[in-house]
Amino acid sequence: MKIAIIGTGYVGLVTGACFASKGHDVICVDVIEEKVSKINEGIAPIYEEGLDELLKELVPKKKLKATLNAKDAVMLSELIIICVGTPSKDEAIFDYTYLEEATKNVGLALKESDDYKVVVIKSTCSPGTTLNLIKPILEETSGKESGEDFGLGFNPEFLREGVAVEDFLNPDRIVIGGIDERSIKSIRTVFEDFDSPILEVDPTTAEMIKITSNSFLAMKISFINEIANITEKIGSDIQDVAKGMGLDHRISDKFLRAGLGWGGSCFPKDISALYHQSKEVGVPSKLLESTIAANKKQPLRAVEILKSALEDRSFEGKKIVILGLAFKPDTDDMRDAVSIPIINHLLDKDAIIYATDPIAIENAKGYLDHSNLHFVKDPAEALEDADACILVTEWKKFALLTPKIFAESMKTPILIDGRRFFDPAKMRAEGVIYYGIGLGK
Ligand code: UGA
């Protein structure tokens, strides 16, 4: 099938590369010239495991190319997948500026074409958007009728950043929300050789499945985080509790890792938008509201624990090391990273922060700026003479920090393990004053 992908962020480019790897002919569209040139050179402009390899193989074979010209791409394609970003606006609603712009361009191209084409939305949006926003824009700009002259649908993505290629090629399920049978049939064609259950629904249900899946996962994490705060006090270990719970297939151990909270470009904005919509339609969700509130508090658990560990209960003038800045490992994404409120809180209390991350330091500089904040590349160097350390992001690389390094380099070897990354027994055996989220004394 000939496919146009509008927007080459991690969702768009991964979608394009994976469909090309299945034998389809893919043209990716972006407004940034540099991205387009890089893709055409076979280089991924973003980091995603396995993506560079796919581009290196598929671009020379002419299965995948990129262009700045949306109209040409649409004219040449049977399926047009819109994957532009829908960032959050005013914290609670999606900003559809890029989505509307991309939809208009697709509509204008449809106007010039005599062929039946199907437009698919992959950008996350509030339930109802495909029918109430996208459809009218497409009909107005193309002068054509959906269902008659062109097809339309919503096909959610369930890709985790960092492992998006793997997630795309091995999905748990494929959800196709189409306005009619013909649209659904066309979209189904590109998923023919995927070995996963396919669910066919209307576009609003598909949008709801996407946003509620993310909200549920966020709620699951917040649940285990709140339980971790309890286990800490009553003297049991959240890891064993989660393991015991997770062995029940109805619960599962996935997304049951307690820590300092969830961040990123998806969970925070999706759950806020759904909560906002629940209020708008007159059924405000208490669970969504509490999940958001619990996650706002969770990063500061690290600060509370640290405060109680410091002899004078004061952060003033203390050198505190932050291990990990990105919202999760294997990405340089700082959007809604929990490192931000932790660092800001400590800086407010006059601490001196030495923060390190394998790849997110450059991005972090756009989010954090203070004369008492120092970014350090080498974690071992950061630890020298420190009063305390908080592990915020569980990068594998931090495993190189042995208990001895903490014990010998730091002034006082206080370690708050916000992701339960290190072995408490080994740390304590070496003299490290170790605290783990959800670990009772
Ligand atoms: C999330 C979803 O997992 C994807 O299915 C979805 O497609 C994507 O959002 C999206 O809407 O585009 P992502 O934001 O890349 O993917 O990251 P996750 O791996 O889901 O992690 C989200 C946050 O939860 C991170 O801050 C992570 O540290 C935290 N987390 C995750 C926990 O604290 N505990 C866990 O057990 C799992």
Mode of pairing for the β-strands spanning 174-178 and 198-201: parallel
Q: For residue 324, what pLDDT is reported?
A: 98
Helix, strand, coil percentages in the chain from 3-state DSSP, rounded to 5:
45, 15, 40
Tokens 């940034």, located at residue: 32
Atom of ligand 1 nearest to the CA of 255: 36
The residue-averaged pLDDT of 38-53 equals 95
End-to-end CA distance of the chain: 59
Atom of ligand 1 nearest to the CA of 419: 33
| Residue bearing the CA closest to ligand 1, atom 25 | 262
3-state DSSP assignment of residue 23? coil
| Residue bearing the CA closest to ligand 1, atom 3 | 160
User: HSE-up of 312 (CA within 13 Å, CB side)?
Assistant: 7
Q: For residue 25, what pLDDT is reported?
A: 98
Active-site option among 18, 28, 125, 266: 266
Residue 174 near residue 198 (C-beta atoms within 8 A) = yes
pLDDT at 89 over 90: no
Residue 42 near residue 83 (C-beta atoms within 8 A) = no
Q: How far is CA 8 from CA 4, 16, 82, 119, in A?
A: 11, 8, 10, 16
3-state DSSP assignment of residue 117? strand
What CATH code would you report for 2-201? Answer: 3.40.50.720
- Return d(Cα 389, Cα 370) in angstroms, integer: 19
pLDDT at 81 over 90: yes
CA of 291 to the centre of ligand 1 (A): 15
Atom of ligand 1 nearest to the CA of 329: 28
Q: How far is CA 392 from CA 78, 292, 299, 389, 417, in A?
A: 45, 19, 9, 10, 7
Cβ within 8 Å of residue 321, ≥6 positions away: 353, 354, 355, 356, 379, 382, 383, 386, 388, 389, 390
Residue 30 near residue 8 (C-beta atoms within 8 A) = yes
- Return d(Cα 283, Cα 293) in angstroms, integer: 18
Q: For residue 254, what pLDDT is reported?
A: 97
What are the two backbone dihedrals, phi and then psi, of residue 439, each rounded to the nearest 5 degrees?
A: -110, 110
Fold equal for 211-297 and 300-436: no
**18 has catalytic annotation:** no
Question: pLDDT class for 88, splitting at 50, 70, 90?
Answer: confident
Residue 179 near residue 201 (C-beta atoms within 8 A) = no
Question: pLDDT class for 440, splitting at 50, 70, 90?
Answer: confident
Q: For residue 182, what pLDDT is reported?
A: 98
pLDDT at 63 over 80: yes
Let me know the angle formed at the C-alpha of 64 by 63 and 69, rounded to the nearest 5 degrees.
130
CA of 395 to the centre of ligand 1 (A): 15
In DSSP terms, 424 is beta-bridged to none
Question: pLDDT class for 228, splitting at 50, 70, 90?
Answer: very high
Mutate to test the pocket of ligand 1, among 255, 419, 437 (most ligand atoms within 8 A of CB): 255
> How far, rounded to the nearest angstrom, does the alpha carbon of residue 153 sit from its chain's CA centroid?
23
Mutate to test the pocket of ligand 1, among 267, 274, 338 (most ligand atoms within 8 A of CB): 267
Atom of ligand 1 nearest to the CA of 158: 7
* Ligand 1 pocket list (CB less than 6 A): 124, 157-161, 214, 217, 221, 255-257, 259, 262-264, 266-267, 327-328
Cβ within 8 Å of residue 283, ≥6 positions away: none
3-state DSSP assignment of residue 376? coil
What tokens appear for 401 in the block?
């920090």
- Return d(Cα 336, Cα 187) in angstroms, integer: 33
pLDDT at 91 over 80: no
CA of 144 to the centre of ligand 1 (A): 39
User: Structurally, what CATH architecture does the domain formed by 211-297 represent?
Assistant: Orthogonal Bundle (1.10)
> What share of the chain in percent tops pLDDT 90?
97
What tokens appear for 265 in the block?
């470009």
Let me know the angle formed at the C-alpha of 269 by 224 and 286, rounded to the nearest 5 degrees.
55
Q: For residue 90, what pLDDT is reported?
A: 79
The residue-averaged pLDDT of 56-61 equals 98
Tokens 């997110």, located at residue: 360
CA of 267 to the centre of ligand 1 (A): 7
Mutate to test the pocket of ligand 1, among 266, 333, 340, 392 (most ligand atoms within 8 A of CB): 266
- Return d(Cα 169, Cα 41) in angstroms, integer: 23
| Residue bearing the CA closest to ligand 1, atom 28 | 328
Q: For residue 295, what pLDDT is reported?
A: 98
| Residue bearing the CA closest to ligand 1, atom 7 | 158
- Return d(Cα 207, Cα 67) in angstroms, integer: 28
3-state DSSP assignment of residue 362? helix
Classify burial at 348, counting beta carbons within 10 Å of its beta carbon; exposed 0-12, middle 13-18, buried 19 or more: exposed
pLDDT at 304 over 80: yes
In one-letter notation, the amino acid at residue 44 is A
CA of 332 to the centre of ligand 1 (A): 14
What tokens appear for 206 in the block?
């598909």
3-state DSSP assignment of residue 194? coil
User: Structurally, what CATH architecture does the domain formed by 300-436 represent?
Assistant: 3-Layer(aba) Sandwich (3.40)
- Return d(Cα 387, Cα 389) in angstroms, integer: 7
- Return d(Cα 359, Cα 365) in angstroms, integer: 12
Using one digit for the tens of pLDDT, what is the confidence trace for 161-216? 999 999 999 999 999 999 999 999 999 999 999 999 999 999 999 999 999 999 99
Domain ranges of the chain: 2-201, 211-297, 300-436
CA of 397 to the centre of ligand 1 (A): 20
What tokens appear for 383 in the block?
């630890």
> What share of the chain in percent tops pLDDT 70?
100
What tokens appear for 282 in the block?
């007159």
Mode of pairing for the β-strands spanning 388-391 and 64-67: unpaired
Q: For residue 211, what pLDDT is reported?
A: 98
